[in-house]
Amino acid sequence: MNPNSDCLPPSAPQGDTATRYNAPALEKGLDILEALSGSSEGYTLNQLAKAVDRNVSQIFRMVVVMQRRGYIQADDNDRYTLTLKMLRLAHQQPPIKRITQAALPLLNELSERTRQSCHLAVYEQGRMVVVAQVDSPERWSFGLKLGSLMGLTDTSSGHVMLSYQDEIGRSRMLNNHIKIEGELEMDPGHLFSLLADVRRVGHSVMPSIQIQGVTNVAFPVRGLGQQVVAAINVPYIARIDGGPCPSIEQVKLVQMDICRRLSHQLGADDTSES
């Protein structure tokens, strides 16, 4: 039974509500947000209008209001980009807030012990999203920005999330997959072979497909019922000078310990699931 069925006019078939009850202004605003989320450099007003298949006069007021409310911003060249307001709102949701609050002290410990940057990523509507991040304590570091979108099929974090789903869950995630800017096509056979390897060894280690010289190391984070709810990734950079630098194998041991402890805080029992 539809919980909202009592709110519908008796003559309106419930199956037709998606097309009968539209909110054009809301859809216009959502189109703008979705268009900006897919651009790393932002859009001018003319470019944004083209991206959402409207003219400037149709979106001008909406853009002004969204800027005033803090959802988008404009630089000196009048290029519009998203702010982090939606990310902040998302972090106020109990599940994400709980995960990030539990994860941040452990991510700081991971960074200190490995001398590497690290981040926590979750699956969200066909992509991976960085919801917590800590820089390396070294004088140089490489890491993803908080709120960054990552590919589902070409990243170690995405592989970890996909590999621990059942067949139905994995199919649903792949069917909802939204490619991000720069994401490469992944041969399905090769992808499923990679996922099988991740499931077999319990983590993912792969050279970055985006940045040369970086090796991504990702482990699963579990919650209630041993469900994988996130992935912790270390974008490993090897030092070639005389400074101390834990090896990838040493990083993996620390990372596994951190993920086990975070999983325990999130309600997972101590029995690992293969």
pLDDT digits (tens, 9 = 90+) for 189-210: 999 999 999 999 999 999 998 8
CATH assignment of the domain containing 42: 1.10.10.10
Query: pTM for the complete prediction?
Result: 0.67
Sequence-distant (6+) residues with CB within 8 A of 125 are: 176, 178
Considering the domain boundaries, does residue 163 fall inside one?
yes
CA dihedral of 38, 43, 45, 47, whole degrees rounded to 10: -80
Please say if the pLDDT value at position 12 is more than 60. Answer: no
Assigned domain for 112 exists: yes
Q: What is the mean pLDDT of residues 174-181?
A: 88
Mean pLDDT over the full length of the chain: 86
Domain boundary among 34, 67, 83: 83
* pLDDT tens, residue by residue, 103-123: 999 999 999 999 999 999 999
Give percent above pLDDT 70 in the chain: 89
Nearest one of 239, 232, 273, 228 to 105, comparing CA atoms = 232
Number of folded domains that form the chain = 2
Q: Are both 127 and 209 inside the same structural domain?
A: yes
Residue ranges making up the domain that contains 137: 88-265
155/28 same-domain check = no
Q: Give the mean model confidence (pLDDT) for residues 241-253.
A: 88
The predicted model gives 243-270 an average pLDDT of 91
For residue 231, give the amino acid letter: A
Rounded-to-integer distance, Cα 105 and Cα 239, Å: 25
pLDDT at position 140: 79
Whole-angstrom Cα distance, residue 158 to residue 127? 8
Q: Where are the beta strands (DSSP E) in the chain?
A: 72-74, 80-82, 118-124, 127-134, 149-150, 204-207, 215-222, 228-236
| Residue that finishes a domain, picked among 83, 101, 122 | 83
169 and 210 in a common domain: yes
